[in-house]
Amino acid sequence: MNITEPGDPTRTRSWARLGQLAVPMRARELREIFAEEPARGPAWTLDAAGLHVDFSKQRVTREVMDALLELASEQGVLERRDAMFAGAHINATEDRAVLHTALRLPLGASLEVDGIDIAAEVHDVLGRMANFSDRVRQGEWTGATGERILNVINIGIGGSDLGPAMAYEALRYYSDRQMTFKFVSNVDPTDITEALLGLDPAQTLFIVASKTFGTQETLTNAKAARQWIVDALGEGAVGKHFVAVSTNAERVAGFGIDTDNMFGFWDWVGGRYSMESAIGLSTMIAIGPQRFRELLDGFHAVDQHFRYADPAVNVPLRMGLIAVWNRDFLDIPTNAVLPYAQFLSRLPAYLQQLTMESNGKSVRCDGARVDYNTGAIYWGEPGTNGQHSFYQLLHQGTEVVACDFMLFAQALEPVYDMQDMLAANALAQAAVLAFGRTAEEVRADGTPEDLVPHKVMPGNRPSTFILAARLEPHALGALIALYEHSVFVQGAVWGIDSFDQWGVELGKAMANSILPDLQDADRPLDRDSSTDALIRAYQALHAQA
């Protein structure tokens, strides 16, 4: 399928129109916008797959939204969306299809790409994963000594870690509580060492997760884990204590893991879009195949919505377009992710990779350098903890931060009325950010005059509020798919390739070239004076150990 690469968005009529609309909007307050549109709350709330998404506190008007939809149309966003779902090679710089949506197709669906029914392949792997997960969960797959596996350690990094780690935390309530799940990613030796502390090798299974099976951190940690097993149980135990998840069978075999114990996926699944592929094996072992299917169904429900819902009510489309508006027209550089759910503590880290590795680009698909802003910086912490840390800046700092609130109405583990307290805090924060507090209102409280300016809350800080019934696998899948497609929309508008990641390669190559220099103080150095001096300082300190 041939698809036209989107060109320079700034040359479209709608971009110019948005530029005009932004001028008065920068001076307009959310207070005024709400006063002019009394039913704005419900009017700007859309529903998708059980997610109730309130965009009313974003600084957008109907005119802005119409112009943003026009921008999507001029940039061919929906054609590109359809091309993605159909398997076109929209990841142009790597000449790859982008088909994470195929990972969550229901059983019985088919999707033929290049003459292969990839939906059947997906379900084949899901079936093998389910079989393996059940065997581990039921104690049929044992360690080499016949003991039940009670500890599962996922070794991976980036997309091969953040998704599984986030999903395990998010769905921990549904997990087998007799089992322990850990996630080792960093090449810092403390990561693996601390993870292994106190564990019994006879009860420990390692999942080595790496799309390429060539990632330094993962292979080094896997080597250390292998040695730990061999030291305790002997070489013959490796087969019972290691499985792999990868697209590269040859390298898996080369590492010494039986490819019968390998769960594959495909080059059309990007690392940061892979948590529902075999990369999610640890998630499936934790929550079981049935709940894993519910997770996939949540993703799929939002996929269907994104694909078929009218643009006027299309939630990921609106979310992505508002992100473009905030970034390029309101000059908002960062976006805070504020889940009011402790189980979503790893969501900000997960979304950092999804958003920033996808849209942190400054060259368009057509090779031209952009002269507009692309991906925002994503960061965050669960509420209410963040309130007692960085919210001061969100409320009164000189930089405006766009915020995404997430809240569930039902507690998974109810205690007193704590869920209501959590909800009250989330709602309060979003309202205060939007509407602030004027000097008159502060004075009306009897505040001494010298404190009035300190207590004024500027407000007019935009946020989106995502509400759902309960943190269940389906809701998590829906939430992640919402962000995936929002990221897609942003990238399509900006005309960039959201699915490559060339920017991370040079650092990896340079680390490989620095390593031998670090390890041999006699080697002459010829880099920049800072790096060379730091190498010598490191060597001197290291030698004192």
Is 436 a residue that touches ligand F6P (CB under 6 A)? no
Q: Are 350 and 163 in contact (CB under 8 A)?
A: yes
- Residue of 45, 93, 212, 438 that binds ligand F6P (CB under 6 A): 212
Distances (CA, A) of 312 to 308, 315, 322: 11, 9, 13
- Residue of 218, 282, 359, 387 that binds ligand F6P (CB under 6 A): 218
Binding span for ligand F6P by CB under 6 A among 23-31, 114-122, 129-137, 154-162: 154-162
Catalytic residue among 169, 357, 472, 484: 357
Q: What is the DSSP string of 136-180?
A: HHTT-SB-TTSPBP-EEEEE--GGGTHHHHHHHHHTGGGS-TTSE
Residue whose CB is less far from ligand F6P, 81 or 211: 211
Is 474 a residue that touches ligand F6P (CB under 6 A)? no
Binding span for ligand F6P by CB under 6 A among 19-27, 51-59, 117-125, 207-215: 207-215
Is 158 a residue that touches ligand F6P (CB under 6 A)? yes
Strands of the 151-155 sheet, one edge to the other: 180-184, 151-155, 204-209, 242-246, 262-264
For the bound state, the minimum distance from the C-beta of residue 361 to ligand F6P, rounded and expressed in Å, comes to 13
**Phi–psi pair at 518, nearest 5 degrees:** -65, -35
Tokens representing 39 are 């039913």
Is 501 a residue that touches ligand F6P (CB under 6 A)? yes
Query: Of the candidates 383, 406, 408, 381, which has an alpha carbon nearest to the alpha carbon of residue 472?
Result: 408
- Residue of 59, 81, 137, 211 that binds ligand F6P (CB under 6 A): 211
Whole-angstrom Cα distance, residue 409 to residue 427? 12
- Residue of 133, 160, 185, 387 that binds ligand F6P (CB under 6 A): 160
Is 384 a residue that touches ligand F6P (CB under 6 A)? no
- Residue of 272, 361, 395, 485 that binds ligand F6P (CB under 6 A): 272
Residue whose CB is less far from ligand F6P, 118 or 245: 245
Q: Using CB under 6 A, which residues numbered 333 to 362 contact ligand F6P?
A: 357
For the bound state, the minimum distance from the C-beta of residue 517 to ligand F6P, rounded and expressed in Å, comes to 22
For the four alpha carbons of 48, 52, 58 and 62, in that order, the dihedral sign comes to positive
- Residue of 393, 409, 504, 537 that binds ligand F6P (CB under 6 A): 504
Residue type at 48? A
Residue whose CB is less far from ligand F6P, 96 or 135: 96
List CB contacts of 14: < 8 A, sequence separation 6 or more.
Answer: 67, 68, 70, 71, 73, 74
Binding span for ligand F6P by CB under 6 A among 209-217, 235-243, 328-336, 450-458: 209-217
Residue whose CB is less far from ligand F6P, 173 or 502: 502
Tokens representing 249 are 């069978």
Is 154 a residue that touches ligand F6P (CB under 6 A)? no
Residue whose CB is less far from ligand F6P, 506 or 541: 506
508 a catalytic residue: yes
- Residue of 101, 133, 215, 490 that binds ligand F6P (CB under 6 A): 215
Strands of the 463-468 sheet, one edge to the other: 45-48, 51-54, 463-468, 401-408, 334-340, 377-380
Residue 43's SS3 state is: helix
- Residue of 75, 203, 210, 352 that binds ligand F6P (CB under 6 A): 210
Catalytic residue among 32, 112, 508, 542: 508
For the bound state, the minimum distance from the C-beta of residue 248 to ligand F6P, rounded and expressed in Å, comes to 8
Give me the residue label for tokens 């060379």. Answer: 532
List CB contacts of 66: < 8 A, sequence separation 6 or more.
Answer: none
Binding span for ligand F6P by CB under 6 A among 141-149, 210-218, 261-269, 424-432: 210-218
Q: Are 59 and 229 in contact (CB under 8 A)?
A: no
- Residue of 159, 339, 386, 477 that binds ligand F6P (CB under 6 A): 159
Secondary structure, 3-state, 392-418 = HHHHHCCCCEEEEEEEECCCCCCCCCH
- Residue of 126, 157, 286, 321 that binds ligand F6P (CB under 6 A): 157
Outline where DSSP puts E strands in 68-141.
112-113, 116-117
542 a catalytic residue: no
Q: Which helix (H) or strand (E) holds 127?
A: helix 118-137
For the bound state, the minimum distance from the C-beta of residue 212 to ligand F6P, rounded and expressed in Å, comes to 3
357 a catalytic residue: yes
Residue whose CB is less far from ligand F6P, 294 or 357: 357
**Phi–psi pair at 204, nearest 5 degrees:** -115, 130
* Residues of the shown chain interacting with ligand F6P in the complex, contacts defined by CB under 6 A: 157-160, 210-212, 215, 218, 271-272, 357, 501, 504
Which residues are known to be catalytic? 357, 388, 508
